[in-house]
Structure 1
Amino acid sequence: MKLSKIFGLHAVQSALQYSPHKITQAWIDVQRQDQRLARAIDDLEALGIVPEKTDRKKLDRFAEGNQHQGIVIEIELPGELPEHNLKTAVQNLAAPALFLVLDHVQDPHNFGACLRTADATGVNGVIVTKDNAAGITPTVCKVSSGAAETVPVYQVTNLARTLRWLKEQGIWVFGAAGESAQPVYQADLSVPMALVIGAEGKGLRRLTQEACDMLVALPMRGSVESLNLSVATGVLLYEVLRQRMTA
């Protein structure tokens, strides 16, 4: 069991909404009083968890100097799922597949934001590499606003091999690559598919690109060369959703 502390009213409220059974302890600032904190305390006490009243310095240590808004909880973090769970999930799909694949994405804020968008767009699961990639951490949980609990995260050892296996299952693999001449808006994304996003500042690795059926790009009309990774992921996933809603 992987226990960790998360902090801040928004993160705590997400935990209370999506995974209340995983909360084990709580601490609150004895000097802070406001309605949002009072509601969080009531929700915790309804679970049988009586928050320990403490001073701000202790909460500062728990939050490692970050803004905690007077509350810290200890929670069992969701875990990454092994590769065989991915194969079971693919074989049991009842609707056209939509997976998000992150190739060596290491920034927890980007990972958390991608999870949040994945939840919003109906992604079946997020596939990450076991090495050189962000895992599920308190920061990821905080940024994802509960999506770390609702979207399965599958951890694989060999990404290129996994992509080849997905193709054998009838899933098309689309890689996001700024150098591609194929605009994403001209690609058929209504098919069962996996969208592959490369690492921050590096993009897709060569073997990952070679495992893709098609590389697609977002049109860039300004002076910047690319979008933030999680922003680009959001645009691409919503284009998939748009096409599927109008198909």
Structure 2
Amino acid sequence: MAASPELEGTESPAPRGPRELRLYGLNAVHAAFAKRPEAIRKLYLVQSRIPALQPLLAWCVAHRVGYRVVEEADLEKLSGSAHHEGVVADVLRAEPESLSTWLRDLPAGPQLAIWLDGVGNPHNLGAILRSAAHFGVAAVLLPKHSSLALSGAAARVAEGGAEHVPMVRLGRTDNALAQLRGAGFALAATVVAGGRDVFAADLPTRLVYVMGAEGEGMDRELARACDLQLSIPGTGAVESLNVAAATAVLLAAWRSRRPG
């Protein structure tokens, strides 16, 4: 089938508006449909994906949401990736919550969150969100001036996890620390060396892991302001784990103390 006129000559995979996100990948689109069907604005798919996406297509028909059956090359142009898995969707972005709102609505009991201090690689963000969804993380916390935001690439790598872990926008660092501690959270700086062994440490019931940027690590002042410092022991054959791999290990260490 020929591409629609809006696809012909497209030079950028950018969505139509700043409030929209262009998702691609079967699990990412399925998760958005399951969690926020009203956010879907347009759908593109290849013929072979019709059976797998039949419920979504029926919903689009019922709610007058446009969709088009296109060619693989069209999807690659729309997504800017060869890893579109046969489907692309334009959806409304889920805007980050404020820290105050998130804390107000947070259930009592054990809770785990991740503070991303300078992490910027979309594939690392996607992998972190996938692990966060798997281990039941309550939120990903973003510093006030962080430019980090969910992208299509991050959502695809997250394999649906992005829809299950809210993003929370922090205010001033000192205020954020005070609010989190006031809600019973301890903050753990994750460091390559010199911290307590995460597998032997007594991990608090309500904990925020603070993860540093790829390469540079976390801000030193922020690390000093944390309640404890944790490291992942290893052989020393490599300097450290990738931030996404390290996050998965840390989340598993906390979850292992709280089965179920």
CA contact (8 A) 1:174 1:193 kept: yes
Is 1:16 matched up with 2:33?
A: yes
Q: Distance in 2 between matches of 1:215 and 1:181?
A: 5
Superposition pairs of residues 156-171 of structure 1, within 5 angstroms: 156-171=170-185
**CA root-mean-square deviation:** 2.2
Q: Which has the higher helix share?
A: 1
The runs of 5 or more residues in structure 1 that have no matched partner are none
Q: Distance in 1 between matches of 2:118 and 2:75?
A: 33
2:54 aligns to what?
Answer: 42
CA contact (8 A) 2:24 2:87 kept: yes
CA contact (8 A) 2:31 2:163 kept: no
CA contact (8 A) 1:190 1:244 kept: no
Deviates more, 1:213-222 or 1:4-13: 4-13
Letter aligned with residue 164 of structure 1: A
* Alignment length (residue pairs): 239
Q: Give the 3-state SS of the residue equivalent to 1:245 in structure 2.
A: coil
Out of 81, 94, 107, which is 1:78 matched to? 94
Q: Deviations over 1:131-151 (max 9, x none)?
A: 234212222222222222221
Give the C-alpha shift of residue 43 in structure 1. Answer: 2.1
CA contact (8 A) 2:26 2:85 kept: yes
Letter aligned with residue 212 of structure 2: G
Superposition pairs of residues 84-233 of structure 1, within 5 angstroms: 84-89=100-105, 92-233=106-247
Out of 20, 38, 41, which is 1:3 matched to? 20
Letter aligned with residue 82 of structure 2: N
Q: Distance in 2 between matches of 1:226 and 1:133?
A: 25
Q: Distance in 2 between matches of 1:5 and 1:174?
A: 34
TM-score (norm 2): 0.82
CA contact (8 A) 2:116 2:213 kept: yes
TM-score (norm 1): 0.86
Q: Distance in 2 between matches of 1:70 and 1:181?
A: 45
- CA distance change for structure 1 residues 59 and 245 in 2, over 3 Å: closer, same or farther? closer
Q: Distance in 2 between matches of 1:237 and 1:56?
A: 37
Give the C-alpha shift of residue 6 in structure 1. Answer: 1.9
- CA distance change for structure 1 residues 15 and 165 in 2, over 3 Å: closer, same or farther? closer
Q: Deviations over 1:28-66 (max 9, x none)?
A: 34xxx43xx122441222202463233444333212253
Q: Distance in 2 between matches of 1:130 and 1:40?
A: 40
CA contact (8 A) 2:103 2:183 kept: no
CA contact (8 A) 1:172 1:194 kept: yes
Q: Deviations over 1:213-241 (max 9, x none)?
A: 11010012141000010100000110000
- CA distance change for structure 1 residues 161 and 209 in 2, over 3 Å: closer, same or farther? farther
- CA distance change for structure 1 residues 21 and 205 in 2, over 3 Å: closer, same or farther? same
The runs of 5 or more residues in structure 2 that have no matched partner are 1-17
Q: Distance in 2 between matches of 1:2 and 1:40?
A: 27
CA contact (8 A) 1:44 1:50 kept: no
Q: Distance in 2 between matches of 1:245 and 1:190?
A: 15
Give the C-alpha shift of residue 190 in structure 1. Answer: 4.3
Q: Deviations over 1:104-132 (max 9, x none)?
A: 11111111211221121122211111323
- CA distance change for structure 1 residues 95 and 125 in 2, over 3 Å: closer, same or farther? same
Q: Distance in 2 between matches of 1:188 and 1:242?
A: 12
